[in-house]
């Protein structure tokens, strides 16, 4: 049994690594061409796999679309949850969350484009519930930070829900023009947006 576990584990790791490559390639094609316009032949060309090999890593295009959404959300949620439990004051927490959002935009730009343009395509699929739950969890982390800031006297916010959507909207919109090798880095973008945002909510 022990001799079998090693090869099985290595096989699983290889499979998961290759599947991540397939999902990343699909994100690139979906972002460029749109989900509906992308064919299986397009995915074969992007991944370098034959049809049978491609279906080894996916059931259908919708499954790939769901995985792209998870690929975008899961690392971001893990990062903001880590930030939340650290002993930062609310303004610092919001600034760090802004950096997490900017890094996510930089590292998963194709996935961001697909998420914003194609989420309606799978909102009736069973997989959407987990994605929606992850999105709500992300929003709740930000809202808790804002509420702590209000309670501590750092922030003046009449509607924290709108304030959450405002922060996320700044970064969601930026995918239309932000480039990792552009005139501003992800960290410069985060600090600029955080400055603008915090000046709007901090107690005067």
Q: Give residue 2's pLDDT.
A: 47
Cβ contacts of 24 within 8 Å, gap of 6 or more: 71, 110
Residue 142 belongs to a domain? yes
The CA distance from 195 to 189, in Å, is: 10
**Residue 151 in tokens:** 């309670």
CATH of residue 76's domain is 1.10.357.10
Residue 35 belongs to a domain? no
Residue 10 belongs to a domain? no
One pLDDT digit (tens) per residue for the chain, 204 residues = 444 577 777 888 888 899 999 999 999 999 999 999 999 999 999 999 999 989 888 888 888 999 999 999 999 999 999 999 999 999 999 999 999 999 999 999 999 999 988 888 888 888 888 889 999 999 999 999 999 999 999 999 999 999 999 999 999 999 889 998 899 999 999 999 999 999 999 887
The CA distance from 128 to 118, in Å, is: 12
Query: What is the domain range of residue 160?
Result: 61-201
Residue 108 belongs to a domain? yes
The CA distance from 165 to 95, in Å, is: 15
Q: Tell me the C-alpha to C-alpha distance, in Å, between residue 154 and each of 22, 89, 129, 139.
A: 45, 9, 35, 20
Residue 127 belongs to a domain? yes
Instruction: Count the domains in the chain.
Output: 1
Residue 156 belongs to a domain? yes
What is the chain's Cα-based Rg?
20
The CA distance from 200 to 3, in Å, is: 61
The CA distance from 201 to 37, in Å, is: 42
């Amino acid at each position: 049994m022990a001799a079998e576990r090693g090869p099985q584990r290595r096989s699983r790791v290889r499979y998961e690594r290759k599947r991540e490559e397939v999902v990343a390639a699909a994100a690139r094609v979906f972002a460029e061409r749109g989900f509906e316009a992308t064919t299986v032949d397009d995915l074969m060309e992007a991944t370098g796999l034959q049809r049978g090999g491609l279906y080894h890593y996916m059931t259908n295009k919708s499954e790939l679309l769901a995985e792209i959404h998870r690929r975008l959300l899961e690392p971001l949620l893990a990062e903001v949850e880590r930030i939340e439990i650290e002993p930062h004051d609310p303004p610092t927490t919001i600034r760090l969350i802004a950096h997490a959002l900017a890094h996510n935009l930089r590292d998963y730009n194709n996935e961001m484009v697909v998420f914003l343009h194609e989420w309606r395509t799978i909102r009736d699929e069973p997989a959407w519930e987990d994605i929606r739950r992850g999105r709500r969890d992300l929003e709740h982390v930000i809202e808790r930070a804002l509420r702590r800031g209000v309670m501590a006297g750092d922030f003046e916010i009449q509607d924290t829900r709108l304030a959450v959507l405002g922060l996320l909207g700044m970064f969601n919109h930026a995918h239309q023009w932000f480039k990792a090798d552009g005139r501003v880095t992800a960290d410069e973008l985060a600090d600029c947006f955080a400055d603008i945002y915090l000046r709007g909510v901090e107690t005067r």
